[in-house]
Amino acid sequence: MLIFSCDTLISCCHVIGRSIKSTDARFHFLLYCTRVGLLQLPTRGFEVFILSVLAKSLPRYMPADKCPDTLAWCNGFLLNPFYVCFVLHRSTFLHLAIIHEDDFITQHLIEIFPKEVLDIQNNLYQSPLHLATYLNLTHVVKSLVGKGVSLELQDQDGNTALHVACQHGQTECASEMTSDVSPSKLAPVLETQNWRGLTCLHLAALNRQHPTMKLLVKKGADLNIQEGTSGKTALHLAVELHDVASVKLLLSRGANVDAAMLNGCTPLHLAVGRQDAAIANLLCQAGADTMLRNMEDETALDLADGNDDILALFPFDDIQISGRSVVGVKF
C-alpha cells in the first residue's frame, strides 16, 4: 500500500535539476534537504517530517511509473513503526506537522494513520490532540476527535487536552472535544484531575474562562466536585478570585452554596474572610447558612465581626440582646 501516489508525493528524482536514478532516491533526498537547509537535526527520523513537507512543496517532475523504487522507499520509510513512534523527543511526525501548523500534511496524516498512532505521546506525554489544543487549531482538533482519539490521555502535568482548552479559554476546541461524545464517555474526562487535583471546571474557574465554564456546565460537569488538595469546589475558587460573574453562573446552575472544604470552610467563610460584601450578599441570597462552623469552630458570622457592611447582610431575627439587634451595638 502506497501512502503517497505521484499526485501527492512529489518525486525526489529531479530535485537538483536533472534526472537521478531511483536507487539513489534516499541519497538525493537527503542532499536536497541539506541543500535547502531543511535537514538541520542529527536525528534521521526528522527526515520523515521533511519528506512530508516536500510532498506538497516540490514540483512534480516524473509520473509514478517512472520512479517506483523512489515511491516504494518513501512509503516504506513513512510506514516504518520506528519512525512513526520515535522521531524527535519521541514525537511522531504528526506532532511535528501540528507544531509547524502545516494543515495539509496534518490532515493527510490524520486520515491515513490508525487511532493507535494518533494517540502516541511525546516525551512530555503530549498527544497530537494536546498540541493542537495548545495552538488552538480547532479544525485539527475536530479531525482528531472524528478519528476517535482518546480524550483521557494526560500530559506530564496530568492535564488532558480538555484541561488545556479550559485553562487557555480555547472554547471552540473544548466544544469540538465534547460535541459528539456520549455523556457516559465524557463523564470520566470531566472528572479527571490533574496532578494538582484540578478538574477542567476548576481550571476554567481559576482562569475566569466564563464561556468555557458555561460549556462544561452544559455538558454535565459536576459543579460540586472538590479539588484534590484542600477540597475547594469551583464556587470556592470563584469566591477567592472575587469573580462575581463566575459566582453568579455557578449559583444559577445549582452549585452547593454550603459546600465545605477539608477545613470546613464554606464559600461564605471565604467571602467574609476576604471582606467581599458583594459576593457574600450573593451567597446569602442563595441561602447560605451563616452558622456553619469550620474546623476552627468559626462561623461566617464570627468572621464578620466588626464589618457592619457584611453583618448587615445576615438575618439577625433570633440574634438579639434584650430584644435589640447586635448590629451597630458597641460593647
pLDDT one-digit tens code per residue, 29-54: 444 444 433 333 334 444 444 454 44
Are 232 and 323 within one domain?
yes
The residue with cell 475547594 is 232
Are 312 and 280 within one domain?
yes
Does the residue 173 lie in any domain? yes
Percent of residues, the chain, with pLDDT higher than 90: 54
Are 203 and 244 within one domain?
no
The residue with cell 530535485 is 15
Q: Is the pLDDT of residue 321 over 90?
A: no
Are 152 and 173 within one domain?
yes
Summarised one tens digit per residue, pLDDT across range 186-225 is 999 999 999 999 999 999 999 999 999 999 999 999 999 9
Summarised one tens digit per residue, pLDDT across range 235-258 is 999 999 999 999 999 999 999 999
The domain that contains 262 carries what CATH number? 1.25.40.20
Q: Is the pLDDT of residue 135 over 80?
A: yes
Are 323 and 232 within one domain?
yes
DSSP-derived 3-state class of residue 140: helix
Are 208 and 155 within one domain?
yes
Are 214 and 240 within one domain?
no
Are 45 and 60 within one domain?
yes
* Choice among 129-133, 219-223, 293-297, 299-303 with the minimum mean pLDDT: 299-303
Query: What is the pLDDT, as a whole number, of residue 311?
Result: 82
Among candidate residues 44, 68, 88, the one where a domain is terminated: 88
**pLDDT tier, 307 (very low <50, low <70, confident <90, very high otherwise):** confident
Residue environment code for 206-234, b if the CB has 16+ CB neighbours within 10 A, otherwise e: bbebbebbebbbebebbbebbbbeebbbb
Does the residue 109 lie in any domain? no
Are 213 and 159 within one domain?
yes
Cα atoms in the 13 Å half-sphere on the side-chain side of 42: 0
Residue-range definition of the domain harbouring residue 174: 124-222
How many structural domains comprise the chain?
3
**pLDDT tier, 275 (very low <50, low <70, confident <90, very high otherwise):** very high
Are 305 and 329 within one domain?
yes
Are 48 and 33 within one domain?
yes
Are 326 and 232 within one domain?
yes
Among candidate residues 160, 194, 222, the one where a domain is terminated: 222
Does the residue 314 lie in any domain? yes
Does the residue 102 lie in any domain? no
CA angle, corner 283, sides to 280 and 288, nearest 5?
A: 115
Q: Is the pLDDT of residue 233 over 70?
A: yes
Summarised one tens digit per residue, pLDDT across range 5-22 is 333 333 333 332 233 334
Cα atoms in the 13 Å half-sphere on the side-chain side of 215: 22
Q: CA-CA distance, 17 to 5, in Å (whole number)? A: 21
Helix (H) or strand (E) holding 52: helix 47-57
Among candidate residues 222, 245, 266, the one where a domain is terminated: 222
Does the residue 318 lie in any domain? yes
Q: Is the pLDDT of residue 327 over 60?
A: no
